[in-house]
């Protein structure tokens, strides 16, 4: 059987905890806000028009502009 050619990896999305942070030079910034009730260790999920905490269920709606 002939070997298949390897495809180039382009535009892969980050998954897991790597998607929660962005590194620019020497600074690390958070991509998602932390929960106001649970504290800085809990990130909120991004659902398009709102942020939701998976731990306590707090929902914060995004501002419409």
What is the distance between the alpha carbons of residues 22 and 55, in angstroms, rounded to a whole number?
23
Give 37-59 pLDDT, tens digit per residue: 999 889 999 999 999 999 999 99
pTM: 0.64
Ramachandran sector of residue 25 (left: φ over 0; alpha: ψ -120 to 50; beta: rest): left
Say whether 43 sits in a helix, a strand or coil: strand
Give 13-43 pLDDT, tens digit per residue: 667 778 888 999 999 999 999 999 999 889 9
What stretch of H or E contains 30? strand 27-30
């Amino acid at each position: 059987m002939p070997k298949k050619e390897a495809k180039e990896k382009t535009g892969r999305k980050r998954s897991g905890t790597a998607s929660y942070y962005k590194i620019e030079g020497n600074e690390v910034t958070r991509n998602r806000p932390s929960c106001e009730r649970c504290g800085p260790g809990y990130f909120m999920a991004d659902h398009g028009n709102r942020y939701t905490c998976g731990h306590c269920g707090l929902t914060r709606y995004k501002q419409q502009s």
